[in-house]
Structure 1
Amino acid sequence: MSRGPTNEFTLIFKIKPGQGEQLRTVLGQSNLEREAQIQARIGTLHDARWVLFDDDTRLLFASNFDGDWDVYIDDFAALIPDVFDGILQHTEDYPGIRDPRIKDFVVDHQHTAAGYSRAIPDATVKELKKALRVNRAFQELLDAGAT
């Protein structure tokens, strides 16, 4: 589903038997620097989350992105392959991010949301970041004029 230029994206995987705890550890190793790099590299990514459920036997990946699905998947493979390989190696039938069958694998695990909404439906990541920069600059001008 999409709202304006942004699409929802949901994948559900089966975790390899006995690897749920190990995967939970991998996902729990939050690295703010790595997450900032991912956001910078995948410039169309609004947000992303990983959820283990069903007693750590299944994994959900959900995100919102701007633009074309093929470009989004290609960006993950080209720009942050180690992130996806490091996580999805714990799921059944994962071929590897560089495998030519990766898009088929993604399609096989993709689920369209039953409902999807956004607070700012017409804004892309690029536009939102620009608006924040403009607002900061404007606030600095206001602050400078107050002294």
Structure 2
Amino acid sequence: MTMNADQQSRPGLKSGRTSEFTLFFKVKPGHGQQIREIFQQPGYEERRKEMGARIGTLHDARWVLFDDDTRLMFATNFDGDWDAYIDDFASLIPESFDAVMQHAEDYPGIHDPNIKDYVAAHQVTAASYLRAIPDATVKDLKKALRVQEAFQRLLDEAS
């Protein structure tokens, strides 16, 4: 793991071309169930996949309620620049992020001019971060899967 200039101003570790991103929030009293209900809505799983595809640099994402639903963790791994990643949430999936985050204390809204400061204030840098294939971006991995699938089709057709 190496630090770059961007990491000096923004939290999070990098492994190759991918960064870790872990946020912790206090949940408004009594709002834990409302957060759970967002993730249990019919069709949410499909919308979640669409949101990840829209962002395009997102490797994975998880929301975790803990401490008796009084705290919320949002953790992801992403390719590229921290600021661009936050911009993607604001421009590509603002309603989805706001739907969950409205239940966090002091959340200003994704379009607030100080949203990046709010996010950075709630981000905790991992003590350690490892990616199995650190230089493979989401785009690289999707391309590799398409190539593998095409190659497999050729093999299947040849036999």
Give TM class, smaller chain.
Answer: over 0.9
Unpaired stretches in structure 2, ≥5 consecutive residues = 1-12
Which of 96, 100, 104 is the equivalent residue of 1:91?
A: 104
Tell me the residue number matched to 1:77.
Answer: 90
Q: Supply the distance in 1 between the matched residues of 2:33 and 2:50 (Cα, whole angstroms).
A: 26
Shift, 1:109, TM fit: 0.3
Q: Give the match for residue 74 of structure 2.
A: 61
Return 5+ residue gaps in structure 1 as ranges: none
Spell out the pairing of 1:19-38 with structure 2 (5 A cutoff): 19-29=31-41, 31-38=44-51
Cα offsets for 1:68-87 (capped at 9, x unmatched): 00000000000000011000
Q: Hey, what's the Cα distance between the residues in 2 that align with 1:63 and 1:28?
A: 20
TM score, norm. by length of structure 2: 0.89
SS at match of 1:86: helix
- 2:14 aligned partner, one-letter code: S
Task: Output aligned runs, 1:116-127, within 5 Å.
Answer: 116-127=129-140
Inter-partner Cα distance in structure 2 for 1:72 and 1:60: 17
Q: What's the TM-score, normalizing by structure 1?
A: 0.96
Q: Residue 6 of structure 1 aligns with which residue?
A: 18
State the percentage of identical aligned residues. Answer: 68
Partner of 1:144: 157
